[in-house]
Every structure is written in structure tokens, then in C-alpha cells.
Amino acid sequence: MENKLEVWKKSHELTLAVYLITKQFQKEEQFGLISQLRRSASSVPTNIIEGQARQYVKEFKQFLFVAKGSLAETHYHLYLAKSLLYIDEVTYSHIDAQIISIKMMLAKLIKSLN
């Protein structure tokens, strides 16, 4: 499955990165931070694609807002992971830049639908 929206592609890449990063976390986080991070990250492209499949633009926008919320949740969880020293500053900075880019793309897409 490939989506034509660039924001979907970027959020899919972010999800893949989160899955790779969390493989290195301590096993005790399996049902804690790992699970939360993976769910919030994968929620971003999921909501974009589900919203795009809806019949009305208003519905699509609502799903984009949900994706934006999931992105904010992912951002915090990654910050927490950095604070707990599960990821280093370089890894965090790289993924932080991805998140900021996706956030801007979502905002532009929402604005274009108004």
C-alpha cells in the first residue's frame, strides 16, 4: 500500500524509525513506553489514510487533526525516551526534525482543505 500524499509517506517513515529505535529499549518497557510510542506513531499515517478514504472533506480534516494529536503524543514520548537515556541526543534531534516537518505538512494540508 502506497499513498500519494507526501505527509503520509513521511509519517510512515517516522513510524518505521520508531519501531527500529524502540527495539533497543529495555525489555521492561515492552508494555509501557515501547507500546505507547509505537501506537502513537503508527496512528499518524493510519489517520491520514483513513481520513483520505472518507467521503467528505470535513471528515478528512477531522482525521488530520487526530493525526496531529498523535504526532504530538509521539513527540512527547520520544522526549521522555531521551530523558530516560533510552535514545541519545543525535537520534532524538534527527527524529525531532522529522516530527517538526510532518507537523508543518499536516498544518498546510489542513489549511488547504479550508
Residue 97, C-alpha cell as written in the block: 526534525
Residue 29 predicted with pLDDT over 90: no
Residue 80, C-alpha cell as written in the block: 521522555
Residue 1 predicted with pLDDT over 60: no
Give pLDDT, residue 64: 97
pLDDT tens by residue, 34-44: 999 999 999 99
6-21+29-112, CATH topology level? de novo design (two linked rop proteins) (1.20.1440)
Averaged pLDDT, 12-33: 91
pLDDT tens by residue, 57-88: 999 999 999 999 999 999 999 999 999 999 99
* Residue ranges covered by each domain of the chain: 6-21+29-112
Residue 86 CA from chain centroid, whole number: 18
CA dihedral 103, 18, 62, 110 (to 10 degrees): 20
